[in-house]
Every structure is written in structure tokens, then in C-alpha cells.
Amino acid sequence: MGSTPETGFLIIADLTGYTAYLAQSELEHAPTIAGDLLETVVGRLDPPFRLAKFEGDAAFLSVEDGRADGSLLLDAVEASYLAFRRRLRSIDQATSCACNSCALAPRLDLKLFVHHGSYVRTTIAGRDELAGSDVIVVHRLLKGSTAETSRANGFALFTAAAIEALGLDAGALGLVEATEAIDHLGTVTTFTLDLEARWAVERQARRLDVGEGDRVVNLDAIVPADPADAWAHLTSPELRTLWEGPLEIVESSPGGRRGVGTQAQCVTGRLATIEEIVDWQPYDHVGWRIAVPALGPVGATADLEPVAGGTHVTVRWAYLGIGEPDPLAMQLVRAEREAAFARLTRLLAGALPVVEATEALA
């Protein structure tokens, strides 16, 4: 009996330099460290991606169309690389072990290959497998010329099909175009994102600090959701309306990807709030500058920290204007933010029926 074809994204996260690392390290330790790193990477990709299987020093994941928007999928890719580098840094800083496995671990890097296409789910020798020519394409990219020339650096390689499905503007995002010839399957156009550069920015990043004194709102809660889910609900216009109310959020993003510089106009009734994202560290921290009618400029941040049982979410709003803010406007914003945050925590806890939230948009 045949399987029903699906369409979606296929992604391989592959440790760079693993063979050399294994050859020079103690067999007792090296696979454990590599496994730890791969778990870190998969932990950031899944969800929205789903792990299909581990393939030696690589993890193969997929996500069917419609589960998340392009920006959120790109957030997952970027977050996985940053989590990988943070984990490497902590191994490097924390260990006092002199064995080669620990000493050489910081030489490992990560490359990710993202393709969009069709595949089927099938069972081979009792194991679930994804199959199809697009599955072959993403695996062949592992051994392609881009992977070879970029060997020393972390990167994410997207096929043209993936870029199109993600709705990204490769030129605006500074992606490097190349082609790969794949036997029997033809030529594939690829676009490479320099994740090493993204990590350099991350290390120097200064976060928007809304301070303590003039805060309008300071809210926090532990929600029973993973950081990816909480992040999506805090940043995706579609999901924000489920807890913030019937807003019409019109986004303008450089390159089609949500991030620093993305501006949004949030309209409810005749009231329009202008937002600009000023910090963007997926699954970890996001900052906005917001022009709130009747109140003035506001700095807002959301910080996420994985904890036992979910994610600790901290949201802060602070008035940034000159002089004293309007007391009634402050009071109303505080009340509105508190109520919305309570809805968010109920939504992520599964205690707010999505149908109720969705119908409010009608």
C-alpha cells in the first residue's frame, strides 16, 4: 500500500570536523560529547521541526507545511546554531579535564542544510523512514561543493526551493548564491547563511535594558511550553492575536524575515501602535521600541529561560518618554498588559480554548 506524499521542509544538522575529532580523541568520551552537542541542536530545532532520526554525527528532521511561518522556521535554525556555540563555550570554560575529547571539542562546528519538497513516510525493516528524491537532495548537499569550501565555518545552506517556501529575499538577507550538481537529479541553486557571523554578533550583542525605575509593567510566569512555542506566541503576528486580542498586525521585515528592524503596525479599532524590533535573539530575548498612543515611547522586552516544567517568561514594558507619563494611560496599559499576559499563560497551558480566542477575531 502506498504512502501519501507530504510537502514540507527537510533539514540536516551535521557536526563539522567530527571524523577528525573522533580520530584524535578517546573513544570513551568523544561520542558522549558529540551526542550532547547534537541533543542541544535538536532540542532547539524540535519543535517546530520533528526529529526523523540520528545519522551518525548528524540529525535529520522535517516539518510539514503549515506548522510554522518562514520566520519562525528560520528562528529555529539560527537558535540551534547559537545554542550549539553556547554549549561548546560552556564545555570549553567548565571543563578541567585534560583529555583530547574535551580539549578538542571546541574545534567542532555545525552546518545545517535546509530543503523544501515532497516526501513519503514509509517503514523499512521496522523503522520509520522519510523517502523521496527531495530526501536524497538534502543528503547529497552534505557532500557538495559548498559544504566542502565552507568546511571550517558554521553555516546554513538553503536550497532555492526552501528560500521560496520560506518567503525570504535572499539578496536582502545577504545570502551567498551557488549551485550544486547532483547526479540524476540535476542542478540545485543554493543560498548560504553565515552563522559564524551571527554568532559573532550574538557575543557582542547589547540587550535593550528597560531598567527598574520607570517600568510600566513587569510580568513573569513559568509556562508549560518549550521556549520555541513561547517564542512563537510572543513574536508571530498570527499567534499574538490569540492572546493579545483582535489586532491587525501589518509587518514590514527586511528580507522577509522577522528580526531587528522589523516594523509592525498593530491596529485595534481606531488605535494604531507602531512597533520596531530592536533585539532579536530567538528563543532567548526579544526587544521592541513601541510608540503607544496616549502614552508615548515604550521599551519592551521578553526574556525566555528553559526551566523544569517549561519556560520562564519575563515581560517588561517601560515608559521611555521625557517627563512623567500620563497616569491614566499608564494604568490602562498596565491593566491591558497584565490581562493579556494572563491570557498568554492560560493559552500556553492549554487552559484557554483556542476556539474562544480565534472567534474573538471575527
Smallest separation, CB 234 to other proteins (Å) = 16
Q: Please tell me the distance from the alpha carbon of residue 242 to that of residue 239, in angstroms, as a whole number.
A: 5
**Contacts with other proteins, 188-227, as mask; x by CB under 8 A:** ----------------------------------------
Least distance in Å: CB of 270 to other proteins? 7
Q: Binding mask 319-338 vs other proteins (x if CB under 8 A, - otherwise)?
A: -------x-xx--xx-xx-x
| Stretch 263-302: interaction string toward other proteins, x if CB under 8 A | -----xxxx--------------------xxxx-------
Cα–Cα distance for residue pair 50/63, rounded to 1 Å:
6
**CB 328, min distance to other proteins, A:** 5
Q: Output the smallest distance, CB 272 to other proteins, in A.
A: 10
Rounded CA Rg of the chain:
22
3-state helix, strand, coil in the chain (%, to 5): 40, 35, 25
* Helix (H) or strand (E) run with residue 325 in it: none
Q: Report the alpha-carbon distance of residue 253 to residue 258 in Å, rounded.
A: 6
Nearer of residues 296 and 306 to other proteins, judged by Cβ:
296
Fill in the per-residue mask, 221 to 260: x = in contact with other proteins (CB under 8 A), - = not in contact.
-----------------------xxxx-------------
Alpha helix stretches (DSSP H) within 261-359: 327-348, 354-359
Report, in Å, the least distance between residue 336 CB and other proteins: 5
Instruction: Return the bridge partners of 317, or none.
Output: 217, 300
Q: Which amino acid is at 247?
A: L
Please state, in angstroms and as integers, the Cα–Cα distance from residue 329 to each residue in 206, 241, 314, following that order.
30, 22, 22
Work out whether 339 is an interface residue with other proteins (CB under 8 A).
yes
Largest CA distance in the chain: 72
- In sequence order, the β-bridge partners of residue 268 are 271
Residues between 67 and 106 that touch other proteins (CB under 8 A): none
The residue ranges that bind other proteins (CB under 8 A) are 244-247, 268-271, 292-295, 326, 328-329, 332-333, 335-336, 338-340, 342-343, 356-357, 359-360, 362
